[in-house]
Amino acid sequence: MDAKSSYILSESFMITYNILYSMSSTPIISQLINLKCTACSKKYEIHRPINLCECGKVLFAVYNLEEAKETVTKESFCKRTRSIWRISEIMPVYEEKFRFTLGEGCTPLLHLKNMGENLGLKQLFVKDEGLNPTGTFKSRGLCAAVSKAVELGIKEFVIPTAGNAGAALAAYSARAKAKAHIFMPVNTPEIIKKEILATGGDLRLVDGIISDAAKEARKEAEKSEWFNMSTLKEPYRVEGKKTMGLELAETFNWELPDVIIYPTGGGTGIVGMWKAFTELEEIGLIGSERPRMISVQSSGCAPIVKAFEEKKDKASFWEGAETIAPGLKVPEAIGDYLILKAVRVSKGTAISVQDEEIMTAMYELAKKEGIMLSTEGAATIAAIPKLLNKGEIEKEDKIVVFGTGSGFTTISLW
């Protein structure tokens, strides 16, 4: 090839490249319009930081879905970023420079063929959230919440946590040049403490469990005006977790699975996915069918299961919570009414498993599939034989369990 034609070739390559590049880098516009209370429907504007509604209940972000429809199309996805910002039309951050990322989201959906054979299930899948940057799906929620808060001008956060949310807050705060104050039970796994210290979090160890940490955090927050990042006590962590639902829909080619089995603590994952499905239906990407949402808790802390069985629409405080699954040691959830609604409306159920069953499932999955889940994720696997027995799931069902964290986060238990 002579110099001239190679020049022309490289020039045409550059032109094509520039066009493609400018197409893919056109900022996607967030269609966030306001916040609305999930209990009393009161609306709030979005230009200043806010935690809960005046009535004390959870606020949800509302989007202009008619506008979002224009650009959120099945064809539009191939060139999009692989992070939680993939469908930024229905994410809360306006300016691209505030859409921080550490590569969270777009986790693999793995077919559990060996495990499924054993259980007689042909279509058993795990969404492996352990591959998120901080080893759990908490990356998603805190990525969204930190990004939005920083866009609103906040630079200092406080969080009560069973561990993983603290690690994620510390990491995303480092990324966004903000400060994270983390209140966490003293017996949280060492690896999580180290992760928080490594990423510059201000770690305060508290005697007791997450509800005790929450009291300390609240006191400090009132004194200092640090912004409270407790789950569902600010409106945007749930937006990050919503992306799990968006990804499931996309991965299954816009037909949702029959069943989702989810290890429930604060419930943000279930509530977030449920919101995602509502928005996707309004945009026109999915129909009205929903998976049965199944909430799994540890028998040592099962307030949602108890409320479900007692047909209540809110849960009461679980005294003396004790389980090897730190993320499930949550004795009360502010979004209890939202979790219970999603479970009931979807004709799902709530079920508890013993710690020993969790450990057995954790080892079995690792041996059979090479996948090391954290104790919380393994709880979903432990629930399967019980759900089959009770007729809550059937052999033909397409089932997705959520491996919410990497085995490394609870490695001290192996």
Ligand X SMILES: *Cc1c(COP(=O)(O)O)cnc(C)c1O
Q: Interface with Zn ion by CB under 5 A: which residues? A: 37, 39-40, 42, 53, 55, 57
Binding of ligand X by 404 (CB under 6 A): yes
Q: Taking CB under 6 A as the criterion, which residues in 207-236 touch ligand X?
A: 231
Q: How would you list the strands of the sheet with 43-44, edge to edge?
A: 43-44, 32-37, 59-63
C-alpha–C-alpha distance, residues 257 and 245, integer Å: 11
Give the nearest distance from C-beta 398 to ligand X in angstroms.
Answer: 22
173 binds, among ligand X, Zn ion, none (CB under 5 to 8 A by kind): none
Q: Per DSSP, what are the bridge partners of residue 373?
A: 406
Please give the structure tokens belonging to residue 159.
């969080």
- Locate the DSSP E strands across 278-407: 292-298, 349-353, 398-403
Give the nearest distance from C-beta 270 to ligand X in angstroms.
Answer: 7
Among 264, 297, 349, 380, binds ligand X (CB under 6 A): 264
Give the nearest distance from C-beta 255 to ligand X in angstroms.
Answer: 24
Q: Which is nearer to ligand X, 116 or 407 (CB)?
A: 407
Among 160, 201, 269, 407, binds ligand X (CB under 6 A): 269
55 binds, among ligand X, Zn ion, none (CB under 5 to 8 A by kind): Zn ion
Q: Taking CB under 6 A as the criterion, which residues in 331-370 touch ligand X?
A: none
Binding of ligand X by 242 (CB under 6 A): no
Q: Which is nearer to ligand X, 30 or 297 (CB)?
A: 297
Q: Are 379 and 294 in contact (CB under 8 A)?
A: no
Among 99, 138, 193, 290, binds ligand X (CB under 6 A): 138
One DSSP character per residue, 82-124 reads: SSGGGGGGGSS--SGGG---SS-S---EEE-HHHHHHHT-SEE
Number of Cβ within 10 Å of residue 3's Cβ equals: 7
Binding of ligand X by 405 (CB under 6 A): yes
Largest CA distance in the chain: 81
37 binds, among Zn ion, ligand X, none (CB under 5 to 8 A by kind): Zn ion
Q: Which is nearer to ligand X, 149 or 358 (CB)?
A: 358
Binding of ligand X by 133 (CB under 6 A): no
Q: Taking CB under 6 A as the criterion, which residues in 146-185 touch ligand X?
A: 164
C-alpha distance from residue 336 to each of 236, 312, 339 (Å): 17, 10, 5
Q: Which is nearer to Zn ion, 230 or 297 (CB)?
A: 230
C-alpha–C-alpha distance, residues 60 and 53, integer Å: 10
Q: Which is nearer to Zn ion, 39 or 191 (CB)?
A: 39
Q: Which residues in 238-267 are b (16+ Cβ under 10 Å) and which e?
A: bbbbbbbbbbbbbbbeeebbbbbbbbbbbb
Binding of ligand X by 327 (CB under 6 A): yes
Give the nearest distance from C-beta 157 to Zn ion in angstroms.
Answer: 24
Select from 60-68, 214-222, 250-258, 265-273 the region that touches ligand X (CB under 6 A).
265-273
Binding of ligand X by 374 (CB under 6 A): yes
The length of the chain, given as a count of residues: 414
C-alpha–C-alpha distance, residues 76 and 91, integer Å: 16
Among 30, 136, 147, 380, binds ligand X (CB under 6 A): 136
405 binds, among Zn ion, ligand X, none (CB under 5 to 8 A by kind): ligand X
Binding of ligand X by 188 (CB under 6 A): no
- Locate the DSSP E strands across 114-256: 123-128, 156-160, 179-185, 202-206, 227-228
Please give the structure tokens belonging to residue 293.
């949402």
- For ligand X, how many residues bind (rule: CB under 6 A)? 16
Q: Which residues bind ligand X (CB under 6 A)?
A: 136, 138, 164, 231, 263-269, 327, 374, 376, 404-405
